[in-house]
Structure 1
Amino acid sequence: MLASFPALLLASTALGSPAVVTDPPVAADAPVVATQADAPAAQENSGDILVTARRRAETQQTVPIALSVLTGKSLAESGTFNVNRLQQQVPSLQFYSSNPRNSAINIRGLGAPFGLTNDGIEQGVGFYIDGVYIGRVGAATFDFIDVDRVEVLRGPQGTLYGKNTTSGALNITTRAPSFTPEVRAEVSVGNYNFGQLKTSVSGPITDTLAIRLSTSATTRDGTIYDVASKTDLHRQRNLGFRGQALYKPTDTLSLTLSGDFNVQNPLCCAQYYARVGTTQRAANRQYGALAAAFGYAPPSTNPFDRVTDLDASINSRQEVGGASLVANWDLGPATLTSVSAWRYWEWQPANDRDFIGLPITTISQNPSQQKQLSQEFRLASNGKSRLDYTVGAFLFHQTIRTQGSQVQGSAASRFLLSGSDASNPNVLNGLTSTNTIAFDNTSFAVFGKLNWALTDKLHLQPGLRINYDKKSGTYDAVVSIANSQYSFVATGANVAALLAAAQAGAARTTFQNQINTLAPQHYSPRFSAWNVSGDLTLSYDFAADLHGYASYARSFKSGGINLSGLPLNATSTGVDLTTQSVKPEKVNAYEIGLKTQFLDRRLTLNLAGFWTDITDYQATVNNNAINVIRGYLANAGKVRSRGFEFDSSFRPSRRFSVYGNGAYTDAKYVDFKNAPCPPELSGGSAASATSPATAAGVAGGVSPAACDISGQRLPGISKWSFSYGGEYNVPVGRSGGQVYVGYDGSYRSRFSSNPSPSAYTWIGGYALSSFRLGYRKTDFNVYAWVRNAFDQRYFELLSTQSGSTGLIVGQPGDPRTFGGTISKTF
């Protein structure tokens, strides 16, 4: 065996046509895991699909949690090689990204506030790779490398997982090192010069030591053309490596040392002209009039022509990596697990924050560096009594350092100001804000969950978590300008002195316009708190293939601090320090579910209903202040998410299988009276007791300081979402080969793309369809594929241009792509 492994290593490097593989036979001590789409294949003999959602191998159908599970095979064949594409497979999952750093993962519409990232808060959906918690969503946007399965758990998970997660968890497990030599390889090619290569080599070094080395490389031309730089944007340039060493000195002890490195340089993420709506600004300050004043027109007013003319640098390079050591020691009655990890993330962006080919904001970027250390211990019983348990402790420390800059250009005065200053380019031309941001986050928790078999069929499962969070940070913005007319340097400490030194009248007004556009400020927010949370689940096995459960969870999402700038006080001489921090979210989650199988387990139907109330919901606001470009965080009174979900699969024969999954999600603001106003109610003169707000979308109107959006829908959530598909195969020859045709589809109804619902930023519902046709046998697979087969035109998100001009910009989804994949296992 030792002699054969080096030969396999050499064979893997000499492959001329590596390709995706079908899943090999699973090791005897590993669980068989599958998604609902894969369920028929996995269930053909026994119907037992094992998962580790509750930190132990259990039959998926008996786990009293709403979850979806996808195998590496289904991910490969559907082209799901990152989190963004995962949402097309799981209807309850939402993923939004204007660039890798500004990304959010939500489940059932909850998890992170919609808008630009604020480093000072937690994410509500936990992201785990081989048991290691990833502290920022941006550090989780790399390509999947050698993934064995992905589990998507819905609802609070704080009593089983290290980090408190109030909305759910994505639990990714990579393929472990194997003591049986193997080589996996995959190559895919397609239009837009798409190419993707994945390789994996595993085998023994000694009788007690095995390794696995995995690589992934993806390249693709951009799908958007920038006529200004003559460059394709939204390209893919991704490279990843992962290495693992498994040491098993005895049958009861194993240690796995893992390391990974990923780099992406996608030259994204462009948003550009989508449509125009009327705000309450004066008519001559609406987008159309402003563009005409410069003689400007976008290269196309049809966003699906996929052309833009951005005049600022675009970049989204990120580097992600880390190392972990996982130890499992079987003590007999229980297994002790230790997960030690260090990870880092470096982000190097550049953006065109005005979204058009005019020099309004010429530089906008927030390079960031994150480092995190985590340690988790768990002790889990081995299921030999009526009382099973899992107890654990978790320690997490994270630092983020950000160096931001924003520079205004010669067109900024006209676009952002009113009065005589709007006609003077020098007022804002060269105005620069240099931001230094530091964040330190420490979290500690102890948690546990019991599984008490009251009878052979009735189980009571209480859980408890005690959690401590401490966050501290600094935000320092220095604002300066140096052009032919103006020159100053303003810090948070000298604004009042500079205002006093300014002459009365026009000079003072000009200085105030400058510091209101980019506000100099300095503050050091702090937050710390203990909280106790818990859950209770009652499950009952009505029959061997009929299982029901009901659960209640009381959970908390940690409070946070604002690290993207604060609104100025009434005199514009400093920041409003009352907005430095936000309170924790308090979550009450209720769920009932039924898991069923029929027809000798060839038909699976799982149902879940849920109701989640959150008070002190953490939301992005701006109070109509143009000086806080990114917005800041505040607490909304209450939100609610309720609905139902189903997962189903049916395999009437060995030749044919179908699946269908769906979710209805009704998520609303129950109480949010001081919300930011939508663009149609923004940009006008300030409302007062003698000058009340006027009608929405009328130029020259009067705008309220805030809006009551109670009863309106949360952003980014479709009421209806579905995934569906199937496969048909025909045997070929005597070698066990098959010719097959497969289909995967998804649909989501319309959703709001603005924190406060706006008539201008609804994204219409859309359906996506993908097909594949191929031939496979045990160790070989070749197929052609087409994704977004009907070239559906849709937006991933819409945004508004700063300054309430009425310009709506969008980020379109991928067009139709097609290609082929070939694979081999040795």
Structure 2
Amino acid sequence: MNFRVLLAGGVAPLALLSHAAFGAEPAPVADPQNTVPPADVTAGPAEADGAPGDIVVTARRRTENVQTVPIAVSVVDAGRLEAQGTFNISRLTQIQPTLQFYTQNPRNTFINIRGIGAPFGLTNDGFEQGVGIYIDDVYYNRIASATLDFVDVQQIETLRGPQGTLYGKNTTAGAINITTTPPSFDFGGKAEVTLGNLNFKQGKATITGPISDTLAARISASTTSRRGTIYNVTTNSYIQSIDNLGVRGALLWKPRSDLSVTLSGDWNLQDPICCALPFYSYGRTQRAANRQLPALLTYFPGYPRADYPLPNVDPFDRLTDVDAQLAARNEHGGLSAKAVWDLDEGNTITSISAWRYWDWGPANDRDYTGLPIYTKVNNPTKQNQYTQEFRWNHKGSGYDFVIGLFGFHQSIRTSGIQQTGTAASKWLLNPTNALSNNPNVANNLVAVNDIRLDNTSAALFGKLNWDVTEQLVISPGFRVNYDRKKGLYNSVVTGNASDGTRQIVSPVPGSAYYNDPWITQLRGIQASQFFEPTFSAWNLSYDVNVRYKITPDVNVYATYARSFKTGGINLNGVPADANGVPIASAFTIKPEKVDHFEAGFKTQFWDRKATFNVTGFWTEIKDFQASVSNGQLGTVRGYLANADKVRSRGVEADLSLRPSDRFSTYANVAYTDATFEKFCDAPPPPELSGGSSTGIVVTGKCTYTGTIGAPGTPGAVSPPFVDISGSPLPGVSKWAAAWGAEFNLPTPIFGEEGQAYFGYDASYRSSWSSNPSPSIYTNVAGYSLHNFRAGFRTDRFDVFGWVRNAFNQNYVELLLAGTGGNTGLIAGQIGDPRTFGGTIKATF
């Protein structure tokens, strides 16, 4: 029996998508709690205890077809993850069409579902993302953990749409629920080795078994390494490598049949040569022509070497020339204890206690060039997180419910540094200023940042499932949540004064050296700032799900959810007034308020050899947390604030077919229309940035007087903000799809009875915007990726070869405007080229 109890406030989506699409037949999963299983599937149905083709769950102590459950969840099991080489969430996007994943490095990572979930392009310790990550019942507050390898994963469930009632705060877009394989009282294990091009090496091993009649253990390890895909001509080495290591262990204690206690621990390390975005293109801005990229490069003859002129580089040459040190050391781990006590036939008590830590050690080159402009832009971070949850599940006649309490505390300490080099004067100061020719002016401008966050929350939640009739089930739920955040932002900036001394670069008029000509220039690059923001609020989430069974194989359902994402505090600096004082109204970010409607149907036909599910959704968010640069607050500076309203609506369809044991296929498609319904003070895109402000007078939140210049016209007047109402949200494609198939044939080889098989899977996404405000320079073209595999498997081993991105598609994962002023430099995250290799797996 698997004593898996999902953290999601008592919801356990246990649908077993399984190797039905890929060969093996899994056993049903039992859950001792009377939890309500929301799920539908993205690929073929599993057979377990029910009629052929049934997808079975046992979450309510009875076998039931997951097709009757009224929430859309895509479920992928370990077999499919391994077959398709999906060893982290980044690769999961290729089989989950509505999931978007973007990362510059582990800290600067964003996950969206249906186009919503996180402000695009700005990392800030003081806010939380809208897609919850859960691993073995434990909520992971920092998204950096999602970039590491999966270790001994049993299955992954992607819940689409707000899940605030049962999955807790900050799931306005959905949740990703990862379950590892539990300890077993039957001795066994497995091992896997993979080798591929680019020096790809991956090893996995697991062993499990009894220690005594009441105690079982499981320990797993995984390691992955690969040479980088981008060649750095400055250091003559490859970057964007992979270097991951993970270890997980668990003890299951069952002193009697009605009680189980699981102690788990894990440690994970990611330490690649990473991360930098290569030059992608040049796009004209409104900055003066002598301060844009082509002119700036002429100030550095031979840069970075005579045979490598930056503006003419093809990004798919996979070259860069960054000169600063690179590092992306990402370590996290933790301990958890889960106790499940069946009081009697209808009552279960669950307790989940956990501690987790995160240690982030970066080194970056944020000017994206081989020039010593910014030599350091690093924000090393340490976090500790504690969670505790209690749940009571009760099963009665015609109803069941769960009631619970959840507590959370997190402390984050970031000690950052930003430092400029000898090229900073020419690059960052106006060339018409004689000081720009003196490299000593802006050299060694240093910002030392002390950033702190203490984040505490508590919640009371409940969910009722009422069987009104045999056909009709109504499931209302609620969650009352309290949040308190206390932060500190202290950036001390020092630079060179004209008398040769080191001085504080202060924004406060009348301060020491305020009028010094060198300090005056440095203040236009960066100045000291200190503030201590706080936030606290109560919030109520509630929802109701309705499911009606038309026939045993046709179900319709509908959901309304009122959810929220907790408010936040700005911890990256905020605008200051004319006296250099941070503006208090920008300290905090209001909570997002979400209204969500969803309806769909789930069907099985062709003797349950076919499954076809369709979901339609409409989500509206007020006070959407977004990246802004508001001119009316004084100095224009990027930070987080609230857009008035966004909307995401669309349709998702999933089809799977298994006409015989020899063949299976699936196809998933999603149409998503995600737009800013009202956002009148958004940050200008690159083509409308960097110009003068002559004649511009801000008269209100979204109004100003004056005439702006044409986009991309050097020296023109730039707007303080732009109205992007009606524009698409960044990061989301209107169309996304995933499809695949596998054929197998019984084939004895060397006396072993097994299957020879051939598999194919693919994904597609249409074009999308990669800038917080849509830009003509950062629209990412659509693309499709195609993968193949072929091999032979038995009950004891599996040997196969694989090729991914088989047609060597050139594609971009992310585009962004370079830092250091609106120079027109566009950097790009280039997707992996064709990779290929072989895998050997053994089970005992």
TM-score tier by shorter-chain length is over 0.9
Match of residue 789 from structure 1: 806
Match of residue 511 from structure 2: 498
The partner residue of 1:443 within 430, 436, 457 is 457
Q: Does 1:551 align with 2:559?
A: yes
The partner residue of 1:569 within 577, 586, 602 is 577
Match of residue 318 from structure 1: 330
Aligned residues, how many? Answer: 798
Deviates more, 1:385-394 or 1:706-715: 385-394
Cα distance, 1:767 vs. partner?
0.2
Match of residue 685 from structure 2: 678
Q: Does 1:374 align with 2:392?
A: no
Q: Is the 8 A contact 1:624 1:676 kept in 2?
A: no
Q: Is the 8 A contact 2:40 2:69 kept in 1?
A: no
Q: Is the 8 A contact 2:27 2:48 kept in 1?
A: no
Q: Does 1:708 align with 2:714?
A: no
Q: How does 1:308-707 map to 2 (within 5 A)?
A: 308-332=320-344, 333-382=346-395, 384-418=396-430, 419-420=432-433, 421-482=435-496, 486-490=500-504, 495-498=508-511, 501-503=513-515, 507-508=516-517, 510-571=518-579, 573-623=580-630, 631-687=638-694, 688=696, 691-707=706-722
Match of residue 179 from structure 1: 185
What amino acid is the match of 1:464? Answer: F
Q: Is the 8 A contact 1:158 1:447 kept in 2?
A: no
Q: Is the 8 A contact 1:443 1:468 kept in 2?
A: yes
What amino acid is the match of 1:815? Answer: P
Q: What is the CA–CA distance in structure 2 between the aligned matches of 1:55 and 1:339, rounded to whole Å? A: 21
Q: What is the CA–CA distance in structure 2 between the aligned matches of 1:153 and 1:391, rounded to whole Å? A: 21
Q: Is the 8 A contact 1:723 1:746 kept in 2?
A: yes
Match of residue 727 from structure 1: 742
Cα distance, 1:123 vs. partner?
1.4
The partner residue of 1:810 within 812, 820, 828 is 828
What amino acid is the match of 1:825? Answer: T
Q: How does 1:223-242 map to 2 (within 5 A)?
A: 223-242=229-248
Q: What is the CA–CA distance in structure 1 between the aligned matches of 2:293 and 2:51, rounded to whole Å? A: 63
Kindly provide the CA deviation profile for residues 722-777 of structure 1, in whole angstroms up to 9, marking residues without a partner as x. Answer: 00000011111385411100001000000101000000000000000000000011
Q: Does 1:746 align with 2:759?
A: no
Match of residue 824 from structure 1: 842
Q: What is the CA–CA distance in structure 1 between the aligned matches of 2:47 and 2:234, rounded to whole Å? A: 51
Cα distance, 1:24 vs. partner?
8.1
Deviates more, 1:815-824 or 1:385-394: 385-394
Deviates more, 1:244-253 or 1:22-31: 22-31
Kindly provide the CA deviation profile for residues 605-657 of structure 1, in whole angstroms up to 9, marking residues without a partner as x. Answer: 11000000001000012347999999310010100000010111011222111
Q: What is the CA–CA distance in structure 1 between the aligned matches of 2:29 and 2:445, rounded to whole Å? A: 65
Q: What is the CA–CA distance in structure 2 between the aligned matches of 1:264 and 1:253, rounded to whole Å? A: 37
Q: CA distance change for structure 1 residues 694 and 286 in 2, over 3 Å: closer, same or farther?
A: same
Q: CA distance change for structure 1 residues 533 and 116 in 2, over 3 Å: closer, same or farther?
A: same
Q: What is the CA–CA distance in structure 1 between the aligned matches of 2:773 and 2:763, rounded to whole Å? A: 26
Q: What is the CA–CA distance in structure 2 between the aligned matches of 1:50 and 1:182, rounded to whole Å? A: 25
What amino acid is the match of 2:253? Answer: Y
Q: What is the CA–CA distance in structure 2 between the aligned matches of 1:731 and 1:213, rounded to whole Å? A: 33
Q: What is the CA–CA distance in structure 2 between the aligned matches of 1:625 and 1:821, rounded to whole Å? A: 58
Q: Is the 8 A contact 1:40 1:602 kept in 2?
A: no
Listed as ranges, the gaps of 5+ residues in structure 1 are 1-20
What amino acid is the match of 2:371? Answer: L
Kindly provide the CA deviation profile for residues 8-48 of structure 1, in whole angstroms up to 9, marking residues without a partner as x. Answer: xxxxxxxxxxxxx9868547746999953343677996323
Q: What is the CA–CA distance in structure 1 between the aligned matches of 2:273 and 2:744, rounded to whole Å? A: 40
Q: CA distance change for structure 1 residues 272 and 623 in 2, over 3 Å: closer, same or farther?
A: farther
Q: CA distance change for structure 1 residues 574 and 781 in 2, over 3 Å: closer, same or farther?
A: same
Q: CA distance change for structure 1 residues 806 and 485 in 2, over 3 Å: closer, same or farther?
A: farther
Deviates more, 1:412-421 or 1:47-56: 47-56
Listed as ranges, the gaps of 5+ residues in structure 2 are 1-21, 304-308, 698-704
Q: What is the CA–CA distance in structure 1 between the aligned matches of 2:327 and 2:462, rounded to whole Å? A: 44
Kindly provide the CA deviation profile for residues 339-375 of structure 1, in whole angstroms up to 9, marking residues without a partner as x. Answer: 1000000000000000010111111000000110000
Cα distance, 1:273 vs. partner?
0.7
Q: What is the CA–CA distance in structure 2 between the aligned matches of 1:629 and 1:220, rounded to whole Å? A: 42
Q: What is the CA–CA distance in structure 2 between the aligned matches of 1:439 and 1:28, rounded to whole Å? A: 40
Cα distance, 1:62 vs. partner?
1.6
Q: What is the CA–CA distance in structure 2 between the aligned matches of 1:512 and 1:484, rounded to whole Å? A: 10
Q: What is the CA–CA distance in structure 2 between the aligned matches of 1:797 and 1:54, rounded to whole Å? A: 43
Q: What is the CA–CA distance in structure 2 between the aligned matches of 1:278 and 1:569, rounded to whole Å? A: 30
Q: CA distance change for structure 1 residues 25 and 633 in 2, over 3 Å: closer, same or farther?
A: closer
Q: Is the 8 A contact 1:43 1:49 kept in 2?
A: no
Q: What is the CA–CA distance in structure 1 between the aligned matches of 2:338 and 2:62, rounded to whole Å? A: 15
Q: Is the 8 A contact 2:597 2:617 kept in 1?
A: yes
Q: What is the CA–CA distance in structure 1 between the aligned matches of 2:60 and 2:75, rounded to whole Å? A: 13
Match of residue 788 from structure 2: 771
Q: CA distance change for structure 1 residues 491 and 517 in 2, over 3 Å: closer, same or farther?
A: closer
Q: CA distance change for structure 1 residues 502 and 377 in 2, over 3 Å: closer, same or farther?
A: closer
What is the TM-score with the length of structure 1 in the denominator? 0.93
Deviates more, 1:224-233 or 1:291-300: 291-300
Match of residue 256 from structure 2: 250
Q: Is the 8 A contact 2:780 2:812 kept in 1?
A: yes
Q: Is the 8 A contact 2:440 2:496 kept in 1?
A: no
Q: Is the 8 A contact 1:43 1:601 kept in 2?
A: no
Deviates more, 1:548-557 or 1:475-484: 475-484
Kindly provide the CA deviation profile for residues 586-622 of structure 1, in whole angstroms up to 9, marking residues without a partner as x. Answer: 1000000111111111100110000000010000123
Q: What is the CA–CA distance in structure 1 between the aligned matches of 2:642 and 2:324, rounded to whole Å? A: 34
Q: Is the 8 A contact 1:61 1:547 kept in 2?
A: yes
Q: What is the CA–CA distance in structure 2 between the aligned matches of 1:428 and 1:482, rounded to whole Å? A: 7
Q: What is the CA–CA distance in structure 2 between the aligned matches of 1:299 and 1:393, rounded to whole Å? A: 57
SS in 1 for 2:121: coil
Q: How does 1:88-103 map to 2 (within 5 A)?
A: 88-103=94-109
Q: Is the 8 A contact 1:673 1:708 kept in 2?
A: yes
Match of residue 14 from structure 1: none
Q: Is the 8 A contact 2:801 2:839 kept in 1?
A: yes
SS in 1 for 2:675: strand
Cα distance, 1:393 vs. partner?
0.8
Q: Does 1:264 align with 2:270?
A: yes
Q: What is the CA–CA distance in structure 2 between the aligned matches of 1:24 and 1:645, rounded to whole Å? A: 27
Q: Does 1:801 align with 2:818?
A: yes
Q: What is the CA–CA distance in structure 2 between the aligned matches of 1:798 and 1:629, rounded to whole Å? A: 22
Match of residue 12 from structure 1: none
SS in 1 for 2:132: strand
Cα distance, 1:778 vs. partner?
1.6
Kindly provide the CA deviation profile for residues 39-70 of structure 1, in whole angstroms up to 9, marking residues without a partner as x. Answer: 36779963232458999986421221111000
What is the TM-score with the length of structure 2 in the denominator? 0.91
Cα distance, 1:532 vs. partner?
1.1
Q: Does 1:759 align with 2:784?
A: no
SS in 2 for 1:426: helix
CA RMSD of aligned residues (A): 2.4
What amino acid is the match of 1:649? Answer: S
SS in 2 for 1:73: helix
Q: CA distance change for structure 1 residues 164 and 51 in 2, over 3 Å: closer, same or farther?
A: farther
